[in-house]
Structures are given as C-alpha cells and as structure tokens.
Structure 1
C-alpha cells in the first residue's frame, strides 16, 4: 500500500555497503549535501568517520530506530539486510543503487543530489511491503523465529534432490521431490522465485508464492497462497544437510526432525518512493536495462 507522507524529516540515517568500492565516497557526498542544509545525520558505529557537529554515531541497537529514515547505499541485497533490522521499529528506508538491477532501490548514484532533494522537500511516498515470518521448531531446543522480505528458501546443502511435504493451515498441498522450495512474497517474486520459473506478482498483493526448484514431476508448478495461511514444511527421514536461507543472506541448518512454518509477518518493510512510477513500469525498465547491458 502506498501512502503520501507529510512528516518532516530532521535526522537521516546513512548505511553503506562497505564492500562496494564507491559507497564511502558516495556516503561522504550525501552527508555533505545534507548537513549543508541543516539535517542531522545518524551513522552506524564502525562504518565511516565524518566529523561534523550534525553527525552522530549509534550502535546497532539504536541506529535502526533513532533517525526519521535510513538512506541505504548499495544494491538490493544491502537494502534487504537493512529491511530485516529496521522493520521492527517501522523505520522508512530508501536506497541509492550501487548494484546492478536494483528492483528495491529508488535512486541512482549519478543522480544522488536530485534524489536527496526530493526526499528532503517531502516529495515522497511510503510503500508498505509484506514480510515473512519463518519459525523453525527443533525437536530438542524449541522454536526460533526469523524474518524475510523477499523469500525463504529450503534446500539441501549438497544440491541433491529432496522430499518435502507442504501443508497450508494443516491441509496437504503436495509432496514434492525437487532441489528445494522457495516461499516468496510478492516483493520477492522478481528474485529467486522468478529465476526458478515462478510468476511475477504485483508487490501490492498480499500473497505467498510456493515454488519448487527443478521438480521431479514436469507438471509441478508454483502455488499462490493467501496471506492468512500458514505453510508448514516437513521432510523425509533420510534427508540430510538441510538448510533454510532467509533473503539469500541468513542460513540456518536444520535436521529432518525439525519443522519449518512460514506465514505473513506482523512487521512490514516501509520503502520510501520518490516518484509515482508503477511497479510494472519499474519492472520493465529494470528488465530492459538488464537485457541491453
């Protein structure tokens, strides 16, 4: 859902992907632009040093809830990482792309001044994106909950075919023999799920896509499930080296005796959008740029 925002911004967090070679220089230019106009800057301790009376440093326990919004310098992977931490405080985030496609990021590094001008003059919207809650229940150590914006992937670490039984609210969906399963949000439908043959889904749709990877049966296809269902995965007793991966970044090893439940999270990602480009146009632009590059 997209909401017009009139909230005044006074302090802007700046988070950068330290592995991107241009991120530090871009961060310094963005900070210089913002402090010149009187905005406070929040930096995560240990990232970069910038000496100015308007620049403050915070530990991670405070950084993701202190500023009015967070500027993320990197690609979609960087933004996904920040989203999983900032969602608990309903923090709005927006990205300036230093990666390749950048489906989630809003601006480009070459036009950072225009991007920041639109943000600081209040010309922006908030898009709320559904997230997933992944609860792993272990036989001997209880339940552990994780959060993802794009997807939850279950597969064998050895890339071997698996047997996975999937249920929705207790009703059997199917027993899959596949290289793994992807459960994605509409936001994640243009990620790994799309590469595995899944559908493109409008990010406004509150659904989950259950998509087998390289299934043994040729007729197996992706399932699109409503937001209020709970997907439960169980595994064949002979399975081994099973891993659950959140947004392609956080990996958890599990055993065949463990259960995986995926459902709509009570938290959401709040993306700042600076223009009224539709998600369909954004997708066409990104895919076309990838095709022509």
Structure 2
C-alpha cells in the first residue's frame, strides 16, 4: 500500500559501522541535507559532525524522533533498522553499500540525485507487511518478536527436523526437513527464494510457508492468507532448535515451547522514488551478477 510522502524537517542517518565507506557517505549526506535546510539526527556513539544543525540521540530516542531515517548500508542494515522503527511508524530510506540491495532505494555513487528526489518530495511511502512471532517457554511469559523478511526455524546442529505446522488449529502438513521458513512478500526474494520458494509481489499481504530441503519430493511452499495464525509443533526428540528473525536475532527453544507466527500489527514504511516500480526493481536485482 502506498501513501503520500509528508514534508520532513529532521532526517536521521544510521550507519553500518562495519563499512568504512558509510562514514564518508554520511558526511556527504549531512553536507547535502543541511545545505538544503534539513536538520540531521545521529545515533550517539556512531560518528560526530562539525555541523551545528545535528542532534545526537540515544538508542531509546533515535528510532522515534526523526521524521525519517536514512540507512547507509545493505539490506541487512535496513532490516535491523526496520525492526527498531516499525513501532513508531518512522519511514526509512536506504542507500546501498552492499551487494544486491533489494530493499535499499539508492546507490552510493548517485547519492546526490537520490537525496534530491527525497528532498523535493519526488517519492512515496510503501508499507510492507511484517511478521509477529510469540515464543512461550514453560513457566515463563511469552516473548514477542517482529521480522520484515522471515522467521526461520532450524536445528543448530543442521540436522533434519520433524515439524508440524498448523493454521488456525488445522494441520497444514507434517514436514521432515532441514528447517522451515515463514516469509513475508518482502522476504520472498531472500532465503525463501534460495530454498525454492516463489517470488511474491510486495503488495500482497500473504505469508509463505516454505520447507528447507524437505525429505519428501512432493513438499512445496504454501501461500497462506494474512489472517492465519501459524502454530509450530516439534518432535519429542528434537533438540538445539533455534528461531531466527531476519537472519539476525536468534532464540533457542525446546520441543515443549510454543511458537506462533502471524501478521504483525506493525509495518515497515519504505520510502520509494517514483522512477522505478517494484517489478522493475525485482527484474533488475534478480538479474544482477555478484
């Protein structure tokens, strides 16, 4: 779903500090934005600027205070920031310093043109569905997690698992596989695609349930409607089970623990430019060479 881009006054800049180029690019972006009348926000502990128009925020404030956040890095960096800002409805805009960059909108070499479109309002906000996962361990309160791309269930020892997936109480199937991916349309071009799953339009609010290297030849992906609640159950002899969110946050569980996955009440707001459709972006990125 697309919404109109509102006027920005303060733009946050988040850097992937593992990429040296991000600090150089951040300085260039700050120079451009401040010269064009914007205030800039930085996360404390990343970099310092000589500009007076820069505000420094703690982690508790950075992801909620700016009008939008410019993310300098690759898709992994953007996924991390997306899980932080979704609770506060802050839109994010990625400039790619990685490889493919499915989620990022601009490239470092063309940062001025990209920022020009952003500052002139030649852009819109694209809302992306997210997943919510609750994990209930014995004698503990349930913990909740969100993911923009996918929730991955796998054995830490990389052994085959027995997983039963249910939707609203009805059994979808009992899988014997290396693991299970529950992906959003955004995540359909990530790990799910590598595991043989379909490419799904980001405009579709569905969930993809995709077994990894299943034992049975006829096992394929399932496309589930957005209002389903997926419950996962495990064989009694399973051990070292891990649940990973967007490939970045991992929680260890046991067969007795309860795992429920559904569409999140939050969404990621990606700022998109008007010069490329989602299909154009997919076609270009999927045909790229590393």
User: TM-score scaled to structure 1, two decimals?
Assistant: 0.98
Q: Give the whole-Å Cα distance in 1 for the aligned partners of 2:284 and 2:58.
A: 37
2:288 alignment partner, SS class: helix
What's 1:228 paired with?
Answer: 227
List structure 1 runs of 4+ shifted beyond 3 angstroms. Answer: none
Bigger Cα displacement from structure 2, 196-205 vs 281-290 = 281-290
2:17 alignment partner, SS class: coil
1:147 alignment partner, SS class: strand
What's 2:99 paired with?
Answer: 100
What's 2:282 paired with?
Answer: 283
What's 1:4 paired with?
Answer: 4
Q: Give the whole-Å Cα distance in 1 for the aligned partners of 2:167 and 2:16.
A: 37
CA deviation after TM superposition for structure 1 residue 274, in Å: 1.2
**Which structure 2 residues correspond to residues 12-161 of structure 1 after superposition, within 5 A?**
12-161=11-160
Give me the CA root mean square deviation. Answer: 0.8
2:287 alignment partner, SS class: helix
What's 2:215 paired with?
Answer: 216
Q: Give the whole-Å Cα distance in 2 for the aligned partners of 1:177 and 1:213.
A: 9
Unaligned runs of 5+ in 1: none
Paired residue total: 290
CA deviation after TM superposition for structure 1 residue 140, in Å: 1.9
- What is the CA deviation profile of residues 160-190 of structure 1, one whole-angstrom value per residue up to 9, with x for unaligned ones? 0000010000100111000000000000000
Q: Give the whole-Å Cα distance in 1 for the aligned partners of 2:10 and 2:25.
A: 18
What's 1:241 paired with?
Answer: 240
CA deviation after TM superposition for structure 1 residue 52, in Å: 1.6
Q: Give the whole-Å Cα distance in 2 for the aligned partners of 1:146 and 1:117.
A: 35
Unaligned runs of 5+ in 2: none
2:122 alignment partner, SS class: coil
Q: Give the whole-Å Cα distance in 1 for the aligned partners of 2:76 and 2:131.
A: 16
